[in-house]
Structure 1
């Protein structure tokens, strides 16, 4: 079974034990805001994952590598619709260019969002254009590298006055960390990567 077949089949299975649930700061009574990201996988012999580099001036997650996505708006029919809308806004990815597979496990961010990863595939080498205000760069990283637990590392650092553990993945001088890395860790755990 290929990596893509394993990943797609895993979405129909119950969530395995050991998934990362989020960064909720203890004592935060605020309800989570709904958000969705698009896990856009390129259909290649060695599939890639489309990622963005957020601009440095943004109020949240500035300068971080992220999956295209954002808040679910009242007009969005579903989390999948929100992820597709955000991907079109951020990287000019047409919704009809994505073959949707379904949703993976939610993740609660330290900024108060409950993020649903929406998985789907896209053709390779699509002409994607980063949104001038939000996205500094759009690029593709090898999916197998990102999902390999040997490349995922837990790190501890101080955040808002307390120690916090998060995950990071280093690829070609780029650091994928925080919620994006956690969702990738969950996908590798979901497929039982060993």
Structure 2
């Protein structure tokens, strides 16, 4: 990623470290915020960096066939959102926690279903060889970070859902539809990259 598309890998690494170092504390846990989840936002430090995404298996009861980050609910035994995100990433795509450099968090994202999702930023040194669990993941793929900062870039759509007009983000991709919570978190990442 270079030129007008955004910063190169060394500059981007510095930007990500500064962005990750910002304080995004744990959300309070009470009845209203008990649906807590964490996802890993795994950034692969290629010369043109990319982010790892998954296509959820089509037989799942929740969000089948949708693009997501590795992650899930924070379990009682998880010491932190970071621990939950790393555990889920290992379970879903075989990504060992020892290969991830956790550098911080993006702001908490609240989904339409009431989950409070903590996006955990992690850096990966290539090569990355994911081993997706077919019970949960149909495919693992990478999205260039340039897609978040250069044209055509993310855009908003709207649709009626359960009687209400909702607006949501879409991130362009040649093969998959990236939208909703995943797209919103990617947009947040893109803003951090541009603003730093």
| TM-score normalised over the length of structure 1 | 0.86
Aligned pairs for 1:104-183 (under 5 A) are 104-148=106-150, 150-183=152-185
Q: Is the CA contact (8 Å cut-off) linking 2:170 and 2:178 kept in structure 1? A: yes
- Matched residue, 2:37: 35
* Structure 1 counterpart of 2:103: 101
Question: Which has more helix, going by share of residues?
Answer: 2
Deviation at 1:189, TM superposition (A): 2.0
Equivalent pairs counted in the alignment come to: 181
How much has 1:115 moved relative to structure 2?
A: 0.4
**Structure 2: tracts of 5 or more residues without a match:** 1-6, 25-30
CA distance in 1 between counterparts of 2:110 and 2:87 reads: 21
Separation (CA, whole Å) in 2 of partners of 1:6 and 1:127: 25
Aligned CA distance change for structure 1 residues 166 and 149 (closer, same or farther; 3 Å):
farther
1:60-107 CA-partner distances (Å, limit 9, x unpaired):
221111110000000001000000000000000001010110111000
The answer to whether the 8 Å contact 2:82/2:120 transfers is yes
CA contact (8 A) 2:54 2:67 kept: yes
Equivalent position of 1:60 in the other structure: 62
- For the aligned residue pairs, the C-alpha RMSD in angstroms reads 2.0
Distance in 1 of aligned mates of 2:17 and 2:107: 13
Structure 1 stretches of 4+ with a deviation exceeding 6 A read none
